Each structure stands twice: as structure tokens, then as C-alpha cells.
Amino acid sequence: MSQQEAEQSEGEGQMRAEEPMEDTQAEEFRASQSPQERRMAEKRQRRREQREAEIRAEEETSADTVHLKVFRYDPDVPEKQKPRFDHFHVPYERGLTVLDALLYARDEFDSTLTVRHSCRQAICGSDAVFINGRQQLACKTQVTELDEPIQVEPLPHQEVIKDLVVDMEHFYDQMHAIEPFLQTDSLPDDELVEQRQSRENREEIKMATRCIWCGACMSSCNIAAGDNQYLGPAAISTAYRFAMDEREDEAATEHRINLMDQEHGVWRCQTQFSCTEVCPKDIPLTQHIQELKREAVKRNLKFW
């Protein structure tokens, strides 16, 4: 073989190595991955897509400011008791979130602007608001993802305390009503030995453990808006997390499912998927509600 032929053959080999996997190969590769590896791969892909979208939005943005249209209401000040919208133009910088923009507006333009926030890392759930017609976490939402003016309102179907802050007491009452803690009497005799859980069971309930009690799902639910006694998707999904945990005692599981198997429990859900769509942690809330319905039916079946 001549030197020229060898170089050509080597070049073809490099090209073949750089070619993407065939569809069948990709499917086989995905099938060989564990659920956690698939989730991590999907998460990395979403990050890449989000980053690419941010870069495109920044390249397309010619304005130096972001236009905010913020809901205002203060029951303690007579001239502010009538709800209105105030407009703010906040300087834009890379990575600016809606919460960043709100805090800038508060610090630089109007110190009375009120918004609830804490960790700024999408963990505490305290800054859930209604952004451009959708329940979202202000600290997680990039302004480059939104059309201007960016309209920010308090969560719907909740009593407004002031500006963007709503009363969450009813939501917390519903969450506590399902007893959101593990109930077991079968602890190891040795206090230094952990109570084991299988990997399969951990995978089954893993998504339900991600709830941050932000209330976005409850706000999006039309059933909860019209039925003040309905437990709501967050509470039911949290009940699912404990009811399906193999470490909980059978008697406690039975008690928990009985709490769900009520008129204002799982049976009030009409499977609209609105809660699942707005959940900032991608929890399959509707699926968990249906699973508890299935468990309730199974436990009520009598074969004799």
C-alpha cells in the first residue's frame, strides 16, 4: 500500500469514528444505562439546550434593560389598596433571573416592593410566583426565556398579603394533614445500624421526595381553587412518597391510604395534568395520584 493510500485509509477511519451512533446503537446504549444514568444524561442535555437558548437570546437582545410589569397591592396603605401594576426597567446582565430583577427593582427603585425569597437556588420554594401566565420559581426563571414586558403576579387562588406575597397557611395545613413523616416501629436494635431500603424502592419514590412545598401545583389546580377541602397534588404526592416507602409499617401505610381514599382526597383529582406541567422539580404528580387511586381500589377489593 502506498503512503497516499495509507493516509486516505486513516482519514476515512477518523471520519467513521467521529460519525454519530446509528439509531439502533443509541437505543441499545440507552437500554444498557441505569435509570439514574438516563436521568443524568437527560439533565445534561436539558442544561445544554438551556444554555444554547440563553446564548441565542443574548445574541438577539439589543436592549440594555429588562421591562418588568409587577402586580402591586398593600391593604395597609389606603392609596395602595386598589390592585395595580407598576413598571420597572432593570439593567440586563448575563444570567439575570426574574428574582434578581425584582430585587434590583426593590433596592434601586421602590423599597416597598415585597416578594418572598430565601435560598435563591430553587430549593426553598418560597419565591413561587405567576410569571407571564405560568406558576414558576422566580429564582430559577431566566429573563431571556420570557417575552417582555415580563408580567409578575402573586400565585392565583391564594389570598394576597402584599404585592407578590400570598398566605400559605392553608397550603401548609393540607401538607401537614397527611402526616408527612416516616412512621415505623421496626427499627434495628443497634442504633448505629441504618434502616435499609432497596434500590428499587428508592427509585420508585425518588421523584416524590423532591417536593419543595412551593405551592405552584396547588395554585394551578382548578379543583383546589373550587374545593377548599381538597388535599391538593403536593400533599397527595407527599403521601405517596411515604405510603410507597417499604420502611413504613403496614398499619401506617393502611392509615395513610385511608386518608387519601376520601371524597376530598385522590378522588377529587380530574387528571388535568396542570400540576405536573408547572412543577419546578418535574415531579409526576398526576401519576402519583393515580397510583394511590389504584392502591385504594386494590385494598377495597373483596374476593369471596
CATH of residue 248's domain is: 1.10.1060.10
More confident residue, 30 or 287: 287
What is the per-residue pLDDT across 111-166, written as a single tens digit (0 to 9) for each?
999 999 999 899 999 999 999 999 999 999 999 999 999 999 999 999 999 999 99
From 132, 165, 198, the end of a domain falls on 165
**d(Cα 80, Cα 222) in Å, to the nearest integer?**
29
Confidence at residue 14, expressed as pLDDT on a 0 to 100 scale: 46
Q: Which of 142, 143, 209, 140 is nearest to 180 (CA)?
A: 209
Q: Looking at the domain assignment, is residue 111 inside a domain?
A: yes
- Give the mean model confidence (pLDDT) for residues 221-249: 94
- Give the mean model confidence (pLDDT) for residues 22-41: 73
Q: Looking at the domain assignment, is residue 43 inside a domain?
A: no
Confidence at residue 42, expressed as pLDDT on a 0 to 100 scale: 85
Q: Looking at the domain assignment, is residue 220 inside a domain?
A: yes
Count of domains forming the chain? 2
Residue 86 confidence (pLDDT) above 90: yes
Residue 10 confidence (pLDDT) above 90: no
Q: Do 206 and 183 share a structural domain?
A: yes
φ/ψ of 87, rounded to 5, equals: -110, 135
Whether 152 contacts 69, CB under 8 Å: yes
Here the cell at position 17 is 469514528
Judged by average pLDDT, the poorest of 39-43, 104-108, 250-254 is: 39-43
Confidence at residue 300, expressed as pLDDT on a 0 to 100 scale: 81
Task: Record the pTM.
Answer: 0.75
How many other C-beta atoms are found inside a 10 Å radius of the C-beta of residue 130?
A: 22
Q: Among 37-41, 46-50, 88-92, 299-303, which range has the highest average pLDDT?
A: 88-92
Tell me the pLDDT band of 43, cut-offs 50, 70 and 90.
confident
From 125, 149, 165, the end of a domain falls on 165
Q: Do 76 and 175 share a structural domain?
A: no
Residue 302 confidence (pLDDT) above 80: no
Q: Looking at the domain assignment, is residue 85 inside a domain?
A: yes
Give 155-174 as a DSSP string. Answer: PTTS-EEETTEE--HHHHHH
Q: Looking at the domain assignment, is residue 46 inside a domain?
A: no
Q: Which domain holds residue 136?
A: 62-165
Whether 210 contacts 283, CB under 8 Å: yes
Please report, to the nearest 10 degrees, the dihedral formed by the alpha carbons of residues 201, 206, 209, 210 taken in order. 180
Q: Do 175 and 124 share a structural domain?
A: no
Judged by average pLDDT, the poorest of 26-30, 214-218, 223-227, 247-251 is: 26-30
Q: Looking at the domain assignment, is residue 140 inside a domain?
A: yes
Q: Looking at the domain assignment, is residue 40 inside a domain?
A: no
Tell me the pLDDT band of 191, cut-offs 50, 70 and 90.
confident
Tell me the pLDDT band of 301, cut-offs 50, 70 and 90.
confident
What is the per-residue pLDDT across 255-289, written as a single tens digit (0 to 9) for each?
999 999 999 999 999 999 999 999 999 999 999 99
Confidence at residue 251, expressed as pLDDT on a 0 to 100 scale: 92
Confidence at residue 272, expressed as pLDDT on a 0 to 100 scale: 92
Q: Do 296 and 173 share a structural domain?
A: yes
**d(Cα 85, Cα 71) in Å, to the nearest integer?**
5
Q: Looking at the domain assignment, is residue 73 inside a domain?
A: yes
Q: What is the mean pLDDT of the chain?
A: 88
